[in-house]
Amino acid sequence: MQVKNKLFNNDWDFYLHEETQKPYFTKLLKTIEKEYDSYTCYPPKDLIFNAFCLTSYENTKVLILGQDPYHNPGQAMGLAFSVPGGTLLPPSLVNIYKELESDLNIETSNSGDLTNWAKSGVLLLNAILSVRKNQPLSHSKIGWETFTDKVIEILNQKEEPVIFVLWGSYAKSKKNLITNNRHFIIENVHPSPLSAYRGFFGSKPFSKINAFLKLTNQTLIDFKLRGKNEK
């Protein structure tokens, strides 16, 4: 996998240009190339940077941070928590949908594809952008965290207020990268069935997001869910 002049095809190419020229990133891409050649890995190679391609730097108003991609077949699509339409909803996404319906009265969808959230300004970023099949965290500590930490730092420097959504202890460990008080941090337990009943349900993150966007004169996020047959 070679570093292209245009890796993301939007303004992230400018903001991340220096980072993608660093030796560690070149080494990272070579490692990923070998991993995809030697093992079944997710997401599909052409979707590794899907979050950046769908949500430009300029359009990023919200960052929802995940840890690493789904490691079962047919799930990972380069967007944290999202799965392609027609795929069985993972338990954490089921709980996100339950809270969304409770919070904003948005009816639960049969599709787990969150592409419309991404296009509305939500950067659905995993800290680790790839994984081996059935081996969670198998691509940790090969360089992805260095890269995505830099993404958070760049968003922290943004003049327009950004909302950082940190669910779970791993995501909350990145809070130290968010130092500008113009931004808004929403932190809570992870929506996984293991922890959702310890404070995720009833936390109303989606209405908090749009209330802050309204307060800062920004366009609200369209959290509407599209079913398999909707566009």
- Per residue of the chain (231 residues), what is the pLDDT tens digit? 444 458 999 999 999 999 999 999 999 999 999 999 999 999 999 999 999 999 999 999 999 999 999 999 999 999 999 999 999 999 999 999 999 999 999 998 999 999 999 999 999 999 999 999 999 999 999 999 999 999 999 999 999 999 999 999 999 999 999 999 999 999 999 999 999 999 999 999 999 999 999 999 999 999 998 754 444
Of 125, 8, 152, give the one whose Cα is nearest residue 69: 125
- Class (C level, CATH) for 12-215: alpha beta
Identify any residues that bridge with 84 across adjacent strands, giving them in sequence order.
none
- pLDDT reported for residue 2: 44
Identify any residues that bridge with 125 across adjacent strands, giving them in sequence order.
65
As a whole number of angstroms, the distance between CA 126 and CA 171 comes to 9
- Say whether 46 is catalytic: no
pTM of the model: 0.94
Q: Choosing from 11, 13, 46, 68, which is the catalytic residue?
A: 68
In this structure, what token pair is assigned to residue 46? 């052409």
- pLDDT reported for residue 6: 81
- pLDDT reported for residue 152: 98
- pLDDT reported for residue 230: 46
**DSSP, res 83:** -
Residues 6+ apart with CB under 8 A from 127: 65, 66, 67, 68, 144, 145, 148, 149, 170, 171, 174
